[in-house]
Structure 1
Amino acid sequence: MIQIPRTLFLASVLLLSVNGATWARSADSNAPQRPVIEVRDDLPRHSYNLDISVTALYETQNRGKLLALARQVAADTKADLKNYDIRDDNTVQEFYGLLGSVALLENDWQAYLDYLEKRKALESKEANRLTMGLAGSAVALTQLSDSPSQETFADTFQALVSALPYKTVEPNLKSLKGSTEILSRALVLGSLESNYQPVLDRNNGEISYDIAASLVGASFTFDHFLAVTDTINGILSDTIESNTIEKTDIWAQRQVTLDAKDKGTPVTLAVWDSGVDTDIFQRSGQLWINNKEIPDNGVDDDDNGFIDDVHGIAYDVDANKTTEILYPIGEFSKDEAELQLLIKGIGDIQFNVDSEEAGEVRRQLSSLPQDEVKTFLESLSIYGNYSHGTHVAGLAAEGNPFARLLVTRMTYGHEIIPKRPTLAAAHREAAMFLEVAEYFRSQGVRVVNMSWGGSLRSIEDALEANAAGKTPEERKALAREIFEIGDRALRRAISESQDILFVTSSGNSDNDVRFDEFYPSSYEYPNLLTVGAVDSAGDETSFTSLGNVDVYGNGYEVESYVPGGNRIPYNGTSMSSPQVMNLAGKLLALHPDLTVQELKTLIIDGAEEKDIPSRSIRLIDPKRSMELASKR
């Protein structure tokens, strides 16, 4: 299986089609019975041949080839919508998004608007529905007007934005503004080339539906968006400036801070992540210590199968044991300080913070050559992996002097083209899952945080990227076999650890984790909690995944430590999950006799139920959960 940390480091940088595609479900009671699709893996596979390079596809002389590819993909999309009853709103909505992109390519402006309305009708998140296809709508309406021009586009876009309830859509507008500040033709071409050209080369010009759909969708950026970024930026800047609002931060008043003078019991909390800078938590006295192990002597002193596991255990990218407890950042073209600056700058741009770091990111990206995009993106990715576990650990331990963090490092890949998944690697990873769970049990771990995950499709995509399998169906079968090896082991690791509460992030894909078979957020076990993300005011974020979420925490501009001890804000469900672990740790510190079921119940019952369009969600309330525990 392929693990992905659930933090939004590059949300703006990796945006390739700002026209956007979110997905939906079709339902027609009068239609004849069709095969039901209840998981993504049951969708049919389609493939296409491309006889030119990815970047050449967007050259004027190759317009015919782009249109031919788009029409092939559209035909398959329409056939799937007609022939299958797809039980997932996100998936059908993505299909409508693809058809809308093709309509724009063909200058069929009204068809684009019609598909957009279908997508909006099926969108459950209000902010996403309201801002869906803003730029695309303005383009289409401008072209349908009596006098298509830049001025007409500006007036149209202004009217669309002015009609929106600003308080609801503020984060989405800021994110769109951020994309106008960093996207360039070279950046988008470089990203497409890095992601897809190796796949094209290794598979002799054959690409899957997903890649073809991405290439078709990116045409909007080249055809329309890049030409109006200054206009969009200006309108959004004025809108944001004139509507500046201070959202009420609901989290500060809910927090509980324990004091060393409280009658608390040390509680062992495992941060199963990319590794942790242990110096930070050693200074605060919040680091778990294995007193049976002698530090740095290269010997397994306590004969438990792990060498030098003084503060925890670690595995490398191949799931082999290692003694390096912090993710090895290695040698890159940028040093650690510059990478930290860039990560913060990208976040600041995304959330409209005019900082020195944001200015530096704008400067670098505006002049970034196409052939340097891959190195730039992979540098940011490796720093994200390097800092991820430390950031999570800081949130897990904050305000709890009784927390004892046991570090468990797993290693995420940082390369745009992932390593080839194999059966042998899957068995090593499965063994790692079981070994880690046994270690947790043997060391008295009470709570484990897992701000990571993956899916069956991610394995299939990695197989395609490495030209594994002779046909799409063969890749599908191999992906399922590899997935199930790790899936069975991870399920067993959780189910056999009934005295441990596992807390996991739902994911940042705005998808149904059950339909997409995301692990572990799609699992349902009595000792597992899945956590989604809201913002500082408790409003649902645009990115948080759905389908199997127990409670929500703050996942928006959440500040914590990075290696070295600096503190910067990150975004994502990776940040909301350890806040639930933090609450669990505090409950156990004051009430060590709590069972896993009692602990889980206190967290859920203490949460505030909040009604939002189409459903209700539970926002954790540490203060109330602590009060309920005291009244037991």
Structure 2
Amino acid sequence: MTQKMRIGFLALLILALPPSLALAADSKPVIEKKDDLPRHEYQLDVKVVDLYEPANRSALLKLAAAVAADAQSDLANYDIRDDNTVQDFYTDLGTVALLESRWQDYLDLLEKRRALETKEANRLTMGLVGEVIARTELAGTANAANAFGEELLKAVEALPYATVQDNLKSTKGRTEFLTRPLVLGNLESTFQPLLDNTGGKISYDVASALVGVSFTLDYFIPNAGAINEVLGDYIAANDVAKEDIWAARTVDLAADAAASPTVISVWDSGVDTAIFGPQGQLWTNTAEQSDGADDDGDGYVDDIHGVAYDLESNKVTELLHPIQRDFGVQPRDWQQYSKGLGDMLANVDSEEAAALRKHIAALPQAEVKDFLESLNLYSGYAHGTHVAGIALEGNPFARLLVARMTYNHTQMPLEPTLEQAERDAAMFREVGAYFRNNKVRAVNMSWGGSLRSIEEALEAHNVGASVDERKALAREIYDIGDAGLREAIGGSPEILFITSAGNSDNDVKFDEFYPSSYEYPNLLSVGAVDSAGDETSFTSLGKVDIYANGFEVESYVPGGDRIKFSGTSMASPQVLNLAAKLWALDPALSVAEVRSLILDGADEKQLESRTIKLLNPKASVALLEQRKAP
């Protein structure tokens, strides 16, 4: 499960269909889950990287035409109840329109995409480069010197900078590290093994991804210099530091406060306990010794500060993955590159960003796979420590119990199996029991996955005699792990579980993302806003209870340095931070009461199409004080 993540004759016909395929008023089958969309397959007989060579243009166009035909068919024949999925189809059709030089069709499809977008910044910047390409082509100025840059400048100057600045900075950042060798190397290491395994058979998801890359190679990279110059000048002329709404909401507990130690857990990729031990913020199992034995008989060896599992969900003792020992990766080197990437996407011209630009500029295609896998490895290695630092900030009464799982870092996903799903499910149940047995009050889970990710991994390994067999096996594997995770959460009603919503700008319920799509009275799903409380472009939707800062959040990484990461992974532990403080101030609070204090203290923010709740620790603590007042 952790891919390391819907009476009379007509009534009888309706009841014979799966719930999500019931007929709509216009007789179209209703699609309420991504899994109920039809599957499509294609045959690709050229190597992935060769698909973008001029000699193979006809093969790319043939694949694009097939993808477009299936997208149009699905849109025409099904009532798809998810705007993000419909947008994706329009995106694919728009890319094909550009490939086929149908400029006005691209603009028409772009308008359809924008009409479905609920995030204002995303709607305003959606398809910005493609729109400029299409307009210059329609005006007959595509080959004129400076035409692209002039048209792009007009487009960005018409935008409200305060609303779109983060998106523009991110686009500028991509111009600084996307190179043709990097893109092709990524494709080759991700998809060529799949083609080799399947004999060239690929699904719609893979085919649409391959077609989509043509935009990056044909239009984005060739115009990267102009995009960078226009956006760089525009940002420099307009940039003003955003208001930071979070400092005024922060509540720190003094060491001499009338508060009690509170056990919390970060269930993640592991934690560098050497950072938090000297601060007195680690939970300690006093019945265990570091002697290679299970001294307390609880099934774990040397579980002094928590428990750990490896990639195959086997118990291990290291609470932080020893990547230098296991893979020969020097964490300090990749810390620099990880920070550099984040800085570029935030338009921060740091030494680390300069070093990464230099490295990528000289990176040959053959070395891209190792580069990306090492970057992924470090990201997983640092993730849990960064999350823990956020959760523990300003709370000397927090006692962290570490629960480590291990994330996969390779470009090629692991092959899902029923046996591995059973081990994953057992891990979920065991960790849930460990939390209960050791009186954990709240747990952060900044991770997740989806049913479709399992199906995609099965495809990569050519598992299943047909697409229907693969779909059924993916569901079986998913359901095993899903049951184990649900038992860990639902079977622990006295523990508050807090999870990141996800970073895919998708509907987590439609896509069946776990655990953020779950509905439990002891679960909160957390979305990400930035320092000013503006919704981020990446935060997922569909089931978000509360939002917190998830953009450029500073915290620890292994070794003790502090750097900034972005994601709902950084927003979620801020809710854990508040929950731990509420329980420290009043250990008698129930899960329902803490959950209520968090949500009732939040500020409502009205967006264009909906209202969201912004975390407000100071207000939640004030509510608690009012409750305790005589």
User: Does the TM-score normalized on the shorter chain lie above 0.5?
Assistant: yes
- Aligned position for 1:395: 390
The residue that corresponds to 2:2 in the other structure is 2
Q: Is the 8 A contact 2:24 2:79 kept in 1?
A: no
Partner amino acid for 2:262?
A: V
Which consecutive aligned stretches of 4+ in structure 1 deviate over 4 angstroms post-superposition? 331-334
Q: Note the alpha carbon deviations across 1:552-585, whole angstroms, 9 max, x for none.
A: 0000000000001000000000000000000000
Amino acid at match of 1:617: I
Question: Among residues 58, 63, 70, which one is paired with 1:64 in the alignment?
Answer: 58
- Within the candidate set 380, 383, 390, 1:385 is matched to 380
For the Cα contact (< 8 Å) 1:3–1:452, is it kept in 2?
no
Q: Which residue of 1 aligns with 2:310?
A: 316
Q: Which residue of 1 aligns with 2:416?
A: 421
Q: Structure 1: which 5+ residue stretches go unaligned? A: 6-28
Counterpart residue identity of residue 166, structure 1: Y
Count of matched residue positions in the alignment of Structure 1 and Structure 2? 608
- Give the match for residue 112 of structure 1: 106
2:295 is equivalent to residue 301 of structure 1: yes
Equivalent AA in structure 2 for residue 548 of structure 1: K
CA distance in 1 between counterparts of 2:571 and 2:362 reads 35
Do residues 179 (structure 1) and 179 (structure 2) align?
no
Q: After superposition, give the CA deviation of every residue in 1:37-95 in whole Å (9 maximum; x if it has no partner).
A: 00000000001001110010000011111000000111011000000000000000000
Q: Secondary structure at the match of 2:526?
A: strand
Write the letter of the residue equivalent to 1:316.
D
CA distance in 2, matches of 1:338, 1:528: 37
Identify the match of residue 489 of structure 2 among 481, 485, 494: 494
> 1:615 is matched by which residue type in structure 2?
R
- The one-letter code matched in structure 1 to 2:467 is P
Deviation at 1:31, TM superposition (A): 7.8
Instruction: Indicate the residue corresponding to 1:127 in structure 2.
Output: 121
**Equivalences for 1:544-555 in 2 at 5 Å?**
544-555=539-550
Report the counterpart of residue 16 of structure 2 in structure 1: none
2:616 to 601, 605, 621: 621
Distance 1:437 1:240 in 2: 48
**Residues 1:536 and 2:556 are matched in the alignment:** no
Does the 8 A contact of 2:323 with 2:329 survive in 1?
no
Aligned residue in 2 for 1:207: 202
Match of 2:341 in 1: 346
The residue aligned with 1:90 is 84
TM-score by length of 2: 0.95
Q: Could you tell me how far 1:229 is from its partner in structure 2?
A: 0.7
What is the alpha-carbon distance in structure 2 between the residues aligned to residue 526 and residue 222 of structure 1? Answer: 47
- 1:480 is the counterpart of 2:478: no
Shift of 1:3: 4.6
Q: How far, CA to CA, are the matches of 2:434 and 2:587 in structure 1?
A: 20
Question: Does the 8 Å contact 1:456/1:479 carry over to 2?
Answer: yes
Q: Which residue of 1 aligns with 2:132?
A: 138
How far apart are the structure 2 equivalents of 1:520 and 1:35? Answer: 28
Paired residues of 2:392 and 2:398 also in contact (CA < 8 A): yes
Which residue of structure 1 aligns with residue 322 of structure 2? 328
Query: Is the partner of 2:154 in helix, strand or coil?
Result: helix
Tell me the SS of whatever aligns to 1:548.
coil
Aligned to 1:14: none
Moved more, 487-496 or 130-139: 487-496
User: Secondary structure at 1:239's aligned position in 2?
Assistant: helix
Contact 2:421/2:480 (CA < 8 Å) preserved in 1? yes
In the other structure, the counterpart of 2:190 is 195
- 1:120 maps to amino acid: R
Q: Counterparts of 2:279 and 2:103 in 1: how far apart (Å)?
A: 60
Partner of 1:242: 237
Q: Distance in 2 between matches of 1:151 and 1:565?
A: 48
Distance 1:333 1:135, change over 3 A: farther
Gaps of 5+ in 2: 6-22
Aligned with residue 216 of structure 1, among 211, 236, 239: 211
Which amino acid letter does the alignment assign opposite residue 76 of structure 1?
D
Q: CA deviation at 1:226?
A: 1.5
CA distance in 1, matches of 2:350, 2:216: 27
User: What value does the CA root-mean-square deviation take over the aligned residues?
Assistant: 1.2
Q: Distance in 1 between matches of 2:389 and 2:253?
A: 15
Shift of 1:221: 1.4
Which secondary structure does the structure 2 equivalent of 1:631 belong to?
A: helix
Change (3 A) 1:404 1:236: same
Report the TM-score, using the length of structure 1 for normalisation: 0.95
- Structure 2 distance, partners of 1:601, 1:284, is 30
1:156 maps to 151
Partner of 2:405: 410
Instruction: Go from structure 1 to structure 2 and tell me whether the alpha carbon gap of 1:547 and 1:576 turns closer, same or farther (over 3 Å shift).
Output: same
Q: Partner letter of residue 2 of structure 1?
A: T
Q: 1:338 to 1:442 in 2, by over 3 A?
A: same
Higher relative contact order (CA 8 A, sep 6+): 1
Pick closer, same or farther for the CA change 1:111–1:221 going to 2, 3 Å.
Answer: same
* Displacement after TM superposition at 1:32 (Å): 2.6
1:499-578 equivalence runs, <5 A: 499-578=494-573
Task: Determine helix, strand or coil for the equivalent of 1:283.
Answer: coil
* SS across alignment from 1:426: helix
1:592 — aligned with what? 587
Question: What displacement does 1:367 show?
Answer: 1.0
